[in-house]
Each structure stands twice: as C-alpha cells, then as structure tokens.
Amino acid sequence: MEILAFGVTADEKPLLERAFEEHFQGRHEIRCLDVFLGEDTAPIAAGYEVVSSSVNAELHGRVLRALAAGGTRMIAQRSTGFNNIDLDVARQLRMTVSRVSYYSPYSVAEFAWTLAMAVNRRIVRASNRTRDFDFRLNGLMGRDLRGRTAGVLGTGRIGEAFTRIAHGFGMKLLGWDLAPNPACVELGMAYVDKDELFASADLISLHVPLLEATHHIVDAAALKAMRDDVVLVNSSRGGLIDTEALVAELRAGRFTGVGLDVYEAEAGVFFTDRSLEAVEDDTLARLVTFPNVVVTSHQAYYTLEAVGQIVDATVRNVADYLAERRSENTLVPPGG
C-alpha cells in the first residue's frame, strides 16, 4: 500500500520516508506532497486508503466526503490539535482518524520563551538596525523578568515546561486551568481565576487547546484588563485571541510586546510563500506592522526532536489502523 501525506515540509520528508521504510520494510510506502489537504486538493487522494494531513489541513465535512468518495478510509493527522477536523462527519463516514497526542513539550515551551524574550528585549528591531549599521540603543530598552509575574493559561505538559523556565528566571507564578498541576504547585504557582491572572501578570503565555469554551478566551475585555506593559505570547492556537480586539489595543499604544506563533485565520496562509502577492487579510497586514509585535509561522513545534516524535507516532497510527487496533492517538476508531 502507498500512503499519501499532505503538507510535508522539505525537512520533514526524509524523516517520514526513513521511518516508513524502517517500520514497514517496503510493505507500505509513503508519497509526500507539499500541498495542503483541503477542498481543492482532496481529489488528489483518490485511490489512497490512508492519507496523512498536517496541522493546517481543512478537514470539514465536504473535504471528508470527497476523501471518502475517493476511497480514503483513514486519516493520520500529524499534530496534536484536531479542531480542524469534523469528527462527527468522520464517524458518519466510518472513517478512522488519528492524531499525535504527545510530542516534545519543550519545543513549544522554549519557543514561547523565545518570542517573549524577543519582544521584551527588542531583538528583531535591534537586528534590523544593525543590518543597516545603525548601532544606537534608543528604543531598545527591555525589562528584567526576575521578580515579575508570569501568568500561564493551561498548565499541561507544555504549560508546565514553560512554568519551569519561568521559575528558573526567578519569576512569581500564576496559573489557570481546570485542575492544578501538582508539579507547578510545587514550583510555587498560585492558581487563580483567569480574570485575576489577566490583571496581575507581567507576562502571559497561552497553552490551552482550542475548544468551543476557549475560543477567544483572550477577548476585548481580557485585553483591556491586562497591564499596559504586559508581554503576551500565544504559541497554542490562533483562535484563543480575538485578533481584531488585539489590534485595537495595539493601536492605542498598549503592551510592551506581543509574540504570536499562531493566528486565527492562518489556514491557507501560514506555511506558504505569499511574498510576491498582495495581502488580502487586512488584520494580519496591520498586525505585522506594529514594532512591538513578532509574528512567526506556526513553527514552535518545529524541532528535530518534536518532528521526529510526530513522525514516529504517525507511523504507529498507520500500523494500528492496518492491524485494527486503537491507541491513545485514536480520535475515531475503525468503523466509526
């Protein structure tokens, strides 16, 4: 059998091909495409029983029905989040769906800190200046983080890893989650309601999944409650922040810095080259113009260790499907 993988990067391709060869010993092969799975590209999968999708695939009902009509029976998504997949339609179509429930939490936590430090210490602005041989320090003053308060929304594996780094900086720790993480409590984290966290923290980092209950958890009211000199970082899912409201606050001159690795309308834009095209998204175009904002293209997970674990999990998910097994990665089991 040949498996079709969509949205494969040049760095990821040799890892996928090597993992499939080592695991299946030539019994099953993988074909890698750099195009993303969506309504326009779903017909490419005709005749493929198993397809693998990337984090920005658009797997709503029409796409799933097109895949099913072409003979696809299994989708192996190479990400943890699955808010982009209509699981109810997948069940109706009796289509097996899997994800990667775990990969290195340090990849995302460390990148979140990279964004926080970049905006706090004006790294991008400083780098751009020195490329023009402008070595002045005006406007580049940052702040010590030691003794300040880090607010962490979501204290699962990634949030815990972020908290450990904050503890190493000597920061006070506030957390919000459905249940306290004992490891974070041991580090000195105080759990508070999110309104108190928004109002009190000097640095806020988001590490919750995108669900109906967390959509725009950082809305206009939350943004207005934050300190004027806050650093806000989102390396989880773009839909956690009301971007229009964020732009309004930035236009008012608020916030020391905002680091975004995700954007709520990133599908079809992130992971692509739009450098020679007119930007149609006015909100994104405005967002990247602020000197205190750094936007990256959903790369927090993109380390050799994390991608290697994602690839290995994807291979196991395909093997489980072929053996009619379930695992912790199964979202919709065989037969729906």
Helix (H) / strand (E) element for 3: namely strand 2-5
Integer Cα distance of 312 and 306 in angstroms: 10
Integer Cα distance of 302 and 11 in angstroms: 10
Q: What is the 3-state secondary structure (H, E, C) of 217-268?
A: CECHHHHHHCCCCCEEEECCCHHHECHHHHHHHHHCCCCCEEEECCCCCCCC
The answer to whether 233 touches 203, Cβ cutoff 8 Å, is yes
State the catalytic residues.
237, 266, 298
177, 263, 303 from 12: Cα distances, Å: 33, 22, 10
The answer to whether 113 touches 171, Cβ cutoff 8 Å, is no
Integer Cα distance of 205 and 209 in angstroms: 13
